[in-house]
Amino acid sequence: MSKIPKVIFLVEISRAYGRGLLRGIAKYSKLHGPWLFFMGPEFYVKGIEHSYRWMKDLDADGIIAPLWDDAIIKMIDNLGLPAVICGIEKPSLNACRVVTDDIAVGRTAAEYFLERGFRRFAYCGFDDAIWSQRRGRSFSINVTNAGFETYTYQRNTAEHRQSPEGEQKIISGWLQSLPKPVAIMACNDDRSQDVLAACRLAEIEVPAEVAILGVDDDELICDLSYPQLSSIAVNTERAGYEAARVLDKLMSGQQIKESEKIVSISPLHVVNRQSTDIMAIEDQYVAESVQFIRKHSRKVIQVGDVAEAVGLSRRALEQHFRKVLTHSVHDEIKFTRVNQMADLLISTNLTMSQIARFLGYPDASNISRYFKQKKGISPMEYRKKFGPK
């Protein structure tokens, strides 16, 4: 009888990030295992030394550790076990990296707010976390490229020692200083909660004055907040599956390719909730047109339908769109349809023909071509890259 691998899993499963990875790992184990999983002790309660002895005595075959603590990473390295870790600087002989595409996350947030007509932007992150810094820089670069400025929250040394409640008061003062309305990207859903709490302290209306967008789509945080928080969903389940596949190779002594040494977590789409449920477009005709297009995203509509709905001629409406959004009404219709298609590709098992019919198209060829033009890859490549395994 072959030996069942023992795998240590060190992650905070109270958050969507860890739970998503765990789902993907469990799916791989179910298909290619079985594996015996061991959840790590509470490092910061029981201490590094106790945790090291626990792992050493366990005689495990591999470790998956989505964490960034240097002391724990060094401890794992000392064990010499095959490992897949988030916080290592670069892959090694026995260890591969799990990396979130923070550049794409920041770009996704900027594009989302720009499409909703915002012209004032801010970023609230953790300035002592490299991943948060990367997201903030990417967000700011994309906003700057569109011709606008980003206000960034920065903590001073004293604020680093504040309790969460104390820092929320400081954030509330920062929020009061910002021009309104303003679109705020928070580095993750925990930070978006801080921004929301700070808005309440400052009696700032969400989303009318401040629109808040987080990252990770943690439903326990987002859905239980009031108003509910919008967030960028990321493909952690797929990354968990890939991390388990790479670890399986390492544990069996197989060589892995360079492309397998980094497991990437990518943004999927924005999950719209109440905290961004507003169009910050001052032009009434454009705002009403965008709302009409999104309301009818599952129907085949033409530019004339939009013009009729808002009471303008096609020519006049096109002029408004070009001035405010710098693209045509037809482009807005297609863009909305592409986003609808992207959501269906990763959330359902519908074929392209079924998706086309669902969206009111007689065939999938035209919309597939436009999808590739906007997303850079074909619909099937998009599903393969971002959809669950």
Give all domains of the chain, ordered by start, each with its CATH number. Answer: 6-101+236-267 (3.40.50.2300), 102-234+270-276 (3.40.50.2300), 284-386 (1.10.10.60)
Structure letter (DSSP) for residue 90? S
Single-letter code of the amino acid located at 226: Y
pLDDT at 33: 81
Query: Which residues of the chain have a pLDDT value below 70?
Result: 1-2, 40-48, 156-162, 388-389
Rounded to 5 degrees, what are φ and ψ at 27? Answer: -65, -40
Q: Give the C-alpha separation, 124 to 132, whole Å.
A: 9
281 burial type by CB count under 10 A (0-12 exposed, 13-18 middle, 19+ buried): buried
Find out whether 294 and 260 touch, Cβ atoms under 8 Å: no
pTM surpassing 0.85?
no
Q: Give the C-alpha separation, 56 to 149, whole Å.
A: 51
pLDDT at 388: 66
pLDDT at 1: 39
Structure letter (DSSP) for residue 152? E
The four Cα atoms 372, 142, 190, 27 give a dihedral, to 10 degrees, of 20
pLDDT at 372: 84
Contacts of 382 (CB under 8 A, 6+ apart): 342, 345, 346, 371, 375
Find out whether 236 and 24 touch, Cβ atoms under 8 Å: yes
Residue identified by tokens 């009434």 is 284
Query: Could you tell me the two tokens for 303?
Result: 């530019």
Q: Give 183's strand partners.
A: 121, 211
Structure letter (DSSP) for residue 184? E
